[in-house]
Structure 1
């Protein structure tokens, strides 16, 4: 059941993307001949007055078909309602509408999550947590009596306020004062203790006591029944996820060899979604918004066979005053499609092998 739910989420997100293209076409009165969800053989189809609607066997995709591509459509080549005869701005709106639809859908999902189950939120507590101490029993921390799980509440009488800066303050105090006494206020379970440490001098001239430090945070849920507040909270979470997604892809480009192995294919995404369904429906909502944002960001990349690649062709047309020859565009798009399909097959095989433990 959880796997089916995850697949259904992917299918819905693809439907939203293609529906964005379709609505942009219909609103502008551009001629369209097909609206298909999925690829492969048709499981269901309906021929409307102008458009053939279809649901196909493979749910990981879809397309909007135009009579521009059908020489037997009987529509004159100079018909102003053909997509290719529309101004560049009209065509750019059609191409980018799928991305906009995915972004809008993600925002609506997050706002709904705020109104219902709430969104996960990090809650900073005072102090800095000590998750681990070096195994060497001769470290400064061991001799001073620090233990894994302790929380450093203060340094030399100065309380550490909640927030990310607390870790930096402790690190700076330790590194800047080798061979000097530092007084620490420690919380250990329900006790508050006072310890002193003397950082040892390292080869780089800085102090060290042999501990790991991390933010003292817990994960809570924040929700609101007020629709106006929910709109604001949904926007904040949308901005956070979008920013993290863009930064993640930029990191992939900058450090491709180190991060390429982290790229997930459809199988891994479905497995991740299935696990979140078993966890909670709130997690599934967060998953849906995140994947919708990822679909938008991926599709806007200036790569052949993606929406971003088609926008690049429109940009070149605007600069040249005329489009690139059709054979050039077709060759680039077909090459890009083959590369994307090849990458998809590779990711499916790799993720399947990982899941079954071969």
Structure 2
């Protein structure tokens, strides 16, 4: 089941990316011949207007097929709806739209997680709830009637203000009275910690949560997304300079496995991991490499610098073909590494 969740997660992010290209192509007047999620034979295929929509069997990619995208309709054709006959600003918008949509998707997923479940807080950070993730068998918490998923909102009559406040009172008290919210119930549960001093425990695994106002959650989601972008760019720099090993790079198999594991850790964790993957997809696609969106953007910027004079279609097609072949080779090598890692 976790593999299925992993495949669905990857397919969703690919769909978002290709949806960006598709909507901006439609907006800019480009003729869109096909919009597909996945590769290979079609599971479902239908035509609506000029576009054929496909859901294919291999859910590890997707594409938007635009007329004249690679000069296949003839570079001298005057059809205004061919991709390369649209204004250059429109073509740039279509190319970067996939990356933009992945970034927006990350912000939206984090916003949903923060609004619905709150922001995770660590030591020294404000928090107004302590979520009990797991109650250990035979522990004081289990004997007192605490359950997995309980939200502790007060301790000894004091509202929770931070992770530190909760643990300090717990470790300095012979017995604690916890105000607990559980599925629309508000309960008062008494627990006697075991141990001495700062080793006192009640036998639970917890997460501190800060529930913030609506717009504060969105602001935090945007800050978190930007932080992810900076972190990924920094990681790429370290990889180029040799400070990070290529052995640490995960391919499709490993990503599907990790996504499945994140889904089992709860919906907020899945949203957070998918947002990280979405930002990864955005950053990697905007790199100025052939066959990626960033490589095609470079070609369009060169055209703009040259005053609208295009590269020869044959030259661009050759660059894209070589780049695509290199990417496929890298994907095969990383996939072989992933399979070996999973089997071990």
CA distance in 2 between partners of 1:53 and 1:24 (Å): 16
Matched, 1:80 2:80: yes
Deviation at 1:71?
A: 8.6
Aligned to 1:237: 224
- CA 1:75 to 1:253, structure 2 compared with 1: closer, same or farther past 3 Å? closer
Aligned to 1:114: 114
Aligned to 1:281: 267
What's the secondary structure of 2:32's corresponding residue? coil
- CA 1:71 to 1:271, structure 2 compared with 1: closer, same or farther past 3 Å? closer
Task: Give the TM-score, by structure 2 length.
Answer: 0.73
Deviation at 1:62?
A: 0.9
CA distance in 2 between partners of 1:70 and 1:48 (Å): 23
1:213-232 CA distances to partner (integer Å, 9 max, x unpaired)? xxxxx9633333x3222212
Aligned to 1:41: 41
Deviation at 1:75?
A: 12
CA distance in 2 between partners of 1:353 and 1:51 (Å): 41
Aligned to 2:92: 92
Question: Of the candidates 288, 293, 299, which is equivalent to residue 302 of structure 1?
Answer: 288
Matched, 1:350 2:337: yes
CA contact (8 A) 1:32 1:65 kept: yes
CA distance in 1 between partners of 2:72 and 2:320 (Å): 23
1:50-88 CA distances to partner (integer Å, 9 max, x unpaired)? 111111111111111122159997999212222101121
CA distance in 2 between partners of 1:304 and 1:260 (Å): 20
1:132-164 CA distances to partner (integer Å, 9 max, x unpaired)? xxxxxxxxxxxxxxxxxxxxxxxxxxxxxx9xx
- CA 1:119 to 1:191, structure 2 compared with 1: closer, same or farther past 3 Å? closer
CA contact (8 A) 2:290 2:319 kept: yes
Deviation at 1:332?
A: 0.8
CA contact (8 A) 2:67 2:81 kept: no
Aligned to 1:312: 298
- CA 1:251 to 1:220, structure 2 compared with 1: closer, same or farther past 3 Å? farther
What's the secondary structure of 2:245's corresponding residue? helix
- CA 1:291 to 1:69, structure 2 compared with 1: closer, same or farther past 3 Å? closer
CA contact (8 A) 2:68 2:74 kept: no
Aligned to 2:313: 326
CA distance in 2 between partners of 1:326 and 1:33 (Å): 20
1:73-110 CA distances to partner (integer Å, 9 max, x unpaired)? 79992122221011211100000000000000000000
CA distance in 2 between partners of 1:9 and 1:334 (Å): 28
What's the secondary structure of 1:33's corresponding residue? strand
Q: Matches of residues 226-265 of structure 1 in structure 2 within 5 Å?
A: 226-255=213-242, 258-265=244-251
CA contact (8 A) 1:37 1:54 kept: yes
Deviation at 1:320?
A: 2.2
CA distance in 2 between partners of 1:332 and 1:349 (Å): 26
Matched, 1:50 2:50: yes
Task: Give the TM-score, by structure 1 length.
Answer: 0.70
Aligned to 1:293: 279
Root-mean-square deviation (Å): 2.5
Deviation at 1:121?
A: 3.5
CA distance in 2 between partners of 1:104 and 1:60 (Å): 21
Aligned residues: 269
Of structures 1 and 2, the larger Rg is shown by 1
Question: Of the candidates 193, 210, 218, which is equivalent to residue 222 of structure 1?
Answer: 210
What's the secondary structure of 1:255's corresponding residue? coil
What's the secondary structure of 2:64's corresponding residue? strand
1:284-329 CA distances to partner (integer Å, 9 max, x unpaired)? 0100100000000000000011000000111111122311111111
Aligned to 1:130: none
CA distance in 2 between partners of 1:118 and 1:78 (Å): 55
Aligned to 2:197: 190
More moved, 45-54 vs 241-250: 241-250
CA distance in 1 between partners of 2:34 and 2:323 (Å): 23
